[in-house]
């Protein structure tokens, strides 16, 4: 039996939120009221909930400012090697709570708002998500910034300040509808515009070759205006910077050309230049070769490299004169990490600056470039690879195309000296793909131009706070391994189950408010949340739901394990199949949820507008995490790890990071099923025949016949013909091949869920094995193995104006 908590233990338990000291609370209240009055120009009679959120945000932000200035000052003085993380996406979500946690202000703010007659949670709900990402790639970038700050690295995130982030998803009559995400409408209290660091970015034009070098002339200029957002480390007084660029037209834009239709039109046309930072492309794992997207990619890279070089040149002796002119030391002072190929133009742009502006020789410039840049690959799907048409390059970035040709010439020279006469190898490894339309292969450019290349999981590179363990685990997640000692501790098992149940009840309340469906909180919460994509196989999940539904209907008196199945995620607006998958999920829900025979033994909910903020509610409430991509298609997955850490068990294939999760927690503590990569390869070799499974497996046939026959769409029986046709005749991801194993595996899941203690023991072993998947561990490894810098857990001293 566990003994009652002593006062000391209680204090220890709440200290994760920070202490609500009396002075602290009083100060926060004073500053809250000051901001309400002076910043928002409101009094308590007319202030809205949003005003109160802004007042609180500004109050918390005040605590960041001193630390932020101090951190940047210390970098300027110590001149450490700086790490620049370049990404077209940063999926940040909300900032307020993360900031309070990292500054240990959560308890004090809670108490202050309570004393002011306000509800902290209600205020937090007013904050818009910063949805500047699509999925895993963008969320990884956000986690990485957090970890770089927590590990005391001089890290900078560089990206684009999209005026519109990932669209808001509405479900209307079962279909996905996109709405623009006007996240900046009410202003963003966390950013600070820095117009003094505005940089010009050039497009179009032509090149001139002179004896003294190459000039890129007659270009169109767009200005890059930086907005800085603080990135606080965990309780170490470090505050790093995320700098996002916004596009501005220069004052003289179009006005010097008298052939334009006059002054008014010239001013209106400024929008064209400023469209560069207007909107995030909503594609995940898919390449769309649009000119605006290439402009975005060059825009972020050109502005960022100017910043990097300005900072490299600036003296650390408090003068702004250009002191460093020897670029051979650049790789000792600068590391550039390319988050996928989207910022790949950093390679030719750095070459352009070193060759044309700094007048270095090719050999010297190339050596510096390779030593500075490193590349992370995020996907193996061929449709996701960036391959830009050469004529687009020629028009938009003529100098860069020349440089890429020269990089390729030297690269192929080296390949052919290593493999003489191997023409096929030259063709395969070239940066330029021949064919009806010549293209630049950006992945090849990244590999050739970087000193380190990594994937996001081993398979991909190769092809709780319990009082029992204290709270150091927050900084060192490996300490969760200590939980293994408590796997048979009855009280601890009860505690874990209780926390999960509380999270489920809270989420059930949220769902009932939003979906008007009565949730059985004792049912298994079976959750699949991720982008809607054929390779992620939401359709396999659908087939299990239908099969389970049919089984209940066939034997209504059997003791079935009740489930609430939740599927959520956005479909790219142009991806027809993905949108049909959503419509199928909602259609299945309409039938299942209204069938009195089934009752509360099975409910199907499509979670609308899945985003960081909804993940923060759903993941802690999950019992079962669905990670069921075809083996060899999910580079890693990141949600999978978050579910594991938060006490869900995983049903999944041996794909991506699932492989390492099984290794850390023990194979028998995950529900692994289906083909391995070798099996998929073998099936590709002999050919996949869907109808063979359809004819052999009666329950699969029944489910498919129901979808095809209009059972789920009685008003429009052929609504799902495209999905049926795809599954039967051109399914690249072999859903039927894993159906039988998946259903059998789900039976095991249901059987174990009937034994709560055994289930919870597996949960404990999963949490205990999740330490490896902390981004702190990842960033420590990047730091040592790629960037050549050493993480530190030392604190910076707090600024004088704060205790």
* 553 catalytic residue (yes or no): no
Phi, psi angle pair for 716, to nearest 5°: -145, 75
**Using 50, 70 and 90 to split pLDDT, how confident is the model at 10?**
very low
Please state the pTM of the whole predicted model.
Answer: 0.94
Q: Are 377 and 194 in contact (CB under 8 A)?
A: no
CA atoms 482, 488, 489, 492: torsion sign: positive
Range name among 232-246, 295-309, 512-526 with the lowest pLDDT average = 512-526
Greater confidence (134 vs 802) lies with 134
Catalytic pick from 371, 387, 400, 530? 530
Q: How high does pLDDT run on average in the chain?
A: 94
pLDDT of 317 higher than 60: no
Q: Are 578 and 572 in contact (CB under 8 A)?
A: yes
Catalytic pick from 94, 139, 243, 378? 378
Spatial separation of the C-alpha atoms in residues 661 and 669, rounded to whole Å: 10
Q: Are 373 and 331 in contact (CB under 8 A)?
A: no
pLDDT of 767 higher than 80: yes
Catalytic pick from 642, 653, 734, 762? 642
pLDDT of 353 higher than 70: yes
Q: Are 108 and 20 in contact (CB under 8 A)?
A: yes
Catalytic pick from 531, 537, 544, 734? 531
Number of other CB atoms surrounding residue 455 within 10 Å? 18
**Using 50, 70 and 90 to split pLDDT, how confident is the model at 753?**
very high
- H/E stretch holding 251 reads none
Classify residue 540 by burial, with Cβ atoms within 10 Å: 0-12, 13-18, 19+: buried
Range name among 461-470, 491-500, 583-592 with the lowest pLDDT average = 461-470
Range name among 15-24, 152-161, 177-186, 626-635 with the lowest pLDDT average = 15-24
- H/E stretch holding 68 reads helix 49-78
| pLDDT score for 2 | 38
Q: Are 779 and 791 in contact (CB under 8 A)?
A: yes
**Using 50, 70 and 90 to split pLDDT, how confident is the model at 16?**
low
Mean pLDDT computed over 621-636: 97
Over residues 536-562, the pLDDT tens digits come to: 999 999 999 999 999 999 999 999 999
Range name among 75-79, 174-178, 467-471, 627-631 with the lowest pLDDT average = 467-471
Spatial separation of the C-alpha atoms in residues 156 and 85, rounded to whole Å: 6
Structure tokens at 322: 């250009």
pLDDT of 464 higher than 50: no
* 536 catalytic residue (yes or no): yes
**Using 50, 70 and 90 to split pLDDT, how confident is the model at 467?**
very low
Phi, psi angle pair for 235, to nearest 5°: 55, 35
Q: Are 564 and 526 in contact (CB under 8 A)?
A: yes
| pLDDT score for 802 | 46
* 290 catalytic residue (yes or no): no
Instruction: Please state, for a pLDDT cut of 90, what percent of the chain lies above it.
Output: 88
The neighbouring-strand residues paired with 603 are: 564
**Using 50, 70 and 90 to split pLDDT, how confident is the model at 22?**
confident
Greater confidence (548 vs 253) lies with 548
* 378 catalytic residue (yes or no): yes
What letters, b where the CB count within 10 A reaches 16 and e where it falls short, cover 560-593?
ebbbbbbbbbbbbeebeebbbbbbbbbbbbebbb
Spatial separation of the C-alpha atoms in residues 572 and 288, rounded to whole Å: 11
Mean pLDDT computed over 606-619: 97
Over residues 70-96, the pLDDT tens digits come to: 999 999 999 999 999 999 999 999 999
Which letter does DSSP use for residue 80 in this model?
Answer: P
Cα–Cα distance list, 257 to 124, 254, 430, 666 (Å): 49, 6, 41, 69
CA proximity to 534, closest of 285, 777, 774: 285
| pLDDT score for 460 | 74
Q: Which residues contact 421 (CB under 8 A, 6 or more apart)?
A: none
Q: Are 486 and 468 in contact (CB under 8 A)?
A: yes
Q: Are 770 and 481 in contact (CB under 8 A)?
A: no
Half-sphere exposure of 401 (CA within 13 A, CB side): 19
Cα–Cα distance list, 542 to 47, 259, 585, 628, 704 (Å): 47, 59, 7, 12, 10
Q: Are 711 and 702 in contact (CB under 8 A)?
A: no
Catalytic pick from 536, 563, 734, 762? 536
* 579 catalytic residue (yes or no): no
pLDDT of 302 higher than 90: yes
| pLDDT score for 325 | 84
Catalytic pick from 638, 650, 653, 760? 638
Greater confidence (653 vs 77) lies with 653
Spatial separation of the C-alpha atoms in residues 455 and 443, rounded to whole Å: 12
Q: Are 312 and 322 in contact (CB under 8 A)?
A: no
Range name among 60-64, 259-263, 391-395, 578-582 with the lowest pLDDT average = 259-263
Spatial separation of the C-alpha atoms in residues 46 and 601, rounded to whole Å: 48
Spatial separation of the C-alpha atoms in residues 422 and 542, rounded to whole Å: 48
pLDDT of 132 higher than 70: yes
| pLDDT score for 470 | 66
* 701 catalytic residue (yes or no): no
Over residues 684-716, the pLDDT tens digits come to: 999 999 999 999 999 999 999 999 999 999 999
Spatial separation of the C-alpha atoms in residues 419 and 407, rounded to whole Å: 18
Spatial separation of the C-alpha atoms in residues 626 and 540, rounded to whole Å: 10
Q: Which residues contact 295 (CB under 8 A, 6 or more apart)?
A: 203, 276, 396
Domains assigned to the chain: 16-78+94-128 (no CATH), 79-93+129-454 (3.40.50.2000), 480-675+737-769 (3.40.50.2000)
């Amino acid at each position: 039996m566990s003994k009652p908590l002593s006062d000391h233990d209680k204090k220890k338990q709440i200290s994760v939120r920070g202490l609500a000291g009396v002075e602290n609370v009083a100060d926060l209240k004073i500053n809250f009221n000051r901001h309400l009055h002076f910043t928002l120009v409101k009094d308590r009679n007319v202030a809205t909930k949003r005003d109160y959120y802004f007042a609180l945000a500004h109050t918390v932000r005040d605590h960041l400012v001193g630390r932020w200035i101090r951190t940047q000052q210390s970098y300027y003085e110590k001149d450490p090697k700086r790490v620049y993380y370049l990404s077209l996406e940063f999926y940040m979500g909300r900032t307020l709570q993360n900031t309070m946690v990292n500054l240990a202000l959560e308890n004090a703010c809670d108490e202050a708002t309570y004393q002011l007659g306000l509800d902290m949670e209600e205020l937090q709900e007013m904050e818009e998500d910063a949805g500047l990402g699509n999925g895993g790639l963008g969320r990884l970038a956000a986690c990485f910034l957090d970890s770089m700050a927590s590990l005391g690295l001089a890290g900078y995130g560089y990206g684009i300040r999209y005026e519109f982030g990932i669209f808001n998803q509405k479900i209307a009559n079962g279909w996905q509808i996109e709405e623009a995400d006007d996240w900046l409408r009410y202003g963003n209290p966390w950013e600070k515009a820095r117009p003094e660091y505005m940089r010009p970015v050039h497009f179009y034009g032509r090149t001139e070759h002179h004896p003294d070098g190459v000039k890129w002339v007659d270009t169109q200029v767009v200005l890059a205006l930086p907005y800085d957002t603080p990135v606080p480390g965990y309780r170490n007084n470090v505050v790093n910077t995320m700098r996002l660029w916004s596009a501005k037209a220069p004052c003289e834009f179009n006005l010097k050309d008298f052939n334009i239709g006059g002054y008014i039109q010239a001013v209106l046309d400024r929008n064209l230049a400023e469209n560069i930072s207007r909107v995030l492309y909503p594609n995940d794992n898919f390449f769309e070769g649009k000119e605006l997207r290439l402009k975005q990619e060059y825009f972020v890279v050109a502005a960022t490299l100017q910043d990097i070089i300005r900072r490299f040149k600036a003296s650390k002796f408090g003068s702004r004169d250009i002191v460093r002119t020897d670029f051979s030391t650049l790789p000792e002072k600068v590391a550039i990490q390319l988050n996928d190929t989207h910022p790949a133009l950093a390679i030719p742009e750095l070459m352009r600056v070193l060759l044309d502006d700094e007048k270095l020789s090719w050999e010297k410039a190339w050596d510096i470039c390779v030593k500075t840049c490193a590349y992370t690959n995020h996907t193996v799907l061929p449709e996701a690879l960036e391959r830009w048409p050469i004529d687009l390059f020629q028009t938009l970035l003529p100098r860069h195309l020349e440089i890429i040709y020269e990089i390729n010439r030297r690269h192929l020279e080296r390949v052919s000296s290593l493999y003489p006469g191997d023409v096929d190898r030259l063709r395969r490894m070239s940066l330029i793909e021949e064919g009806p339309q010549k293209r630049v292969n950006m992945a090849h450019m990244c590999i050739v131009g970087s000193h380190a290349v990594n994937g996001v999981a081993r398979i991909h590179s190769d092809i709780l706070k319990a009082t029992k363990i204290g709270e150091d685990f927050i900084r060192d997640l490996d300490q969760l391994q200590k939980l293994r000692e408590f796997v048979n501790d009855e009280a601890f098992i009860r505690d874990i189950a209780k926390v999960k149940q509380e999270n489920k009840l809270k989420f059930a309340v949220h769902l009932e408010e939003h979906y008007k469906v009565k949730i059985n909180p004792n049912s298994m919460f079976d959750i699949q949340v991720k982008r809607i994509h054929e390779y992620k196989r939401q359709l396999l999940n659908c087939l299990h739901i239908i099969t389970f539904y049919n089984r209940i209907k066939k034997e209504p008196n059997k003791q079935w394990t009740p489930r609430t199945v939740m599927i959520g995620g956005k479909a790219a607006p142009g991806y027809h199949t993905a949108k049909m998958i959503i419509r199928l999920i909602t259609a299945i829900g309409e039938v299942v949820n209204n069938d009195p025979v089934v009752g509360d033994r099975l409910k199907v909910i499509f979670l609308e507008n899945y985003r960081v903020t909804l993940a923060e509610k759903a993941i802690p409430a999950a019992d079962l995490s669905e990670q069921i991509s075809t083996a060899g298609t999910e580079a890693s997955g990141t949600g999978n790890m978050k579910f594991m850490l938060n006490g869900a068990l995983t049903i999944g294939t041996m794909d991506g990071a699932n492989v390492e999760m099984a290794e850390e927690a023990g194979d028998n503590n995950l529900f692994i099923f289906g083909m391995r990569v070798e099996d998929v390869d073998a099936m590709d070799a002999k050919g996949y025949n869907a109808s063979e499974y359809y004819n052999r497996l009666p329950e699969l046939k029944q489910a498919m016949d129901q979808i095809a026959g209009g059972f789920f769409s009685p008003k429009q029986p052929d609504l799902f013909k495209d999905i049926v046709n795809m599954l039967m005749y051109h399914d690249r991801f072999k859903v039927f091949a894993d159906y039988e194993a998946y259903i059998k595996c789900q039976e095991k899941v249901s059987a174990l869920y009937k034994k709560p203690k055994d289930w919870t023991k597996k949960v404990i072993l999963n949490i205990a094995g999740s330490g490896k998947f902390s981004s702190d561990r990842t960033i420590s490894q990047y730091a040592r193995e790629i960037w050549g810098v050493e993480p530190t857990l030392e604190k910076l001293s707090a600024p004088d104006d704060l205790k």
